[in-house]
Amino acid sequence: MSSLKQLSVALLATVTGIDAKSVAITTLYTVPPGKRLIPMGVMIRCTGFTVGAKAVQAIASFGSNSATWDNYLNSVTYTISAVQMCIYDAVFDAEYTSVAAGGLFKISIETGSDATTENWAVSLFGFLV
């Protein structure tokens, strides 16, 4: 029997401890052998937050292109105002290529928030073909 990840949109991965204050690239998912990833969207959940004098929101991209990791969601501003707040962002707004076996899907924090503390858990939703 096929796994649920091939029969429906599924939660494929969750990565915790992403510091939204720091410019960095983090791997969210590696496509298994013999499969292709069709990413549907990402859920950002704030797991740690202290506002301080926050005036700058984090800007992040998501993708599988190794140069910039931004071919699915490019330079999006994510406004977080408290712990446990969630933002879902779908990748349906443009034509895109599925991610081949062994490919990586990553988040790139391009501009860090200036909150005193801002930590994220990021979940990837999609399916495999």
Domains parsed from the chain with CATH numbers: 4-128 (2.60.120)
Output the pTM of the full model.
0.90
Confidence band, pLDDT 50/70/90 cuts, at residue 47: very high
Please tell me the distance from the alpha carbon of residue 77 to that of residue 125, in angstroms, as a whole number.
Answer: 20
Extended strands (E) in 6-52? 10-19, 24-30, 37-50
pLDDT in the model for residue 5: 60
Sign of the dihedral through C-alpha 111, 83, 127, 36: positive
pLDDT in the model for residue 67: 86
pLDDT in the model for residue 8: 78
- Asked whether the beta carbons of 14 and 86 are under 8 A apart, the reply is no
- Asked whether the beta carbons of 106 and 23 are under 8 A apart, the reply is no
Please tell me the distance from the alpha carbon of residue 22 to that of residue 117, in angstroms, as a whole number.
Answer: 10
pLDDT in the model for residue 53: 76
pLDDT beyond 90 at 76 = yes
pLDDT in the model for residue 9: 87
Sign of the dihedral through C-alpha 68, 71, 72, 76: positive
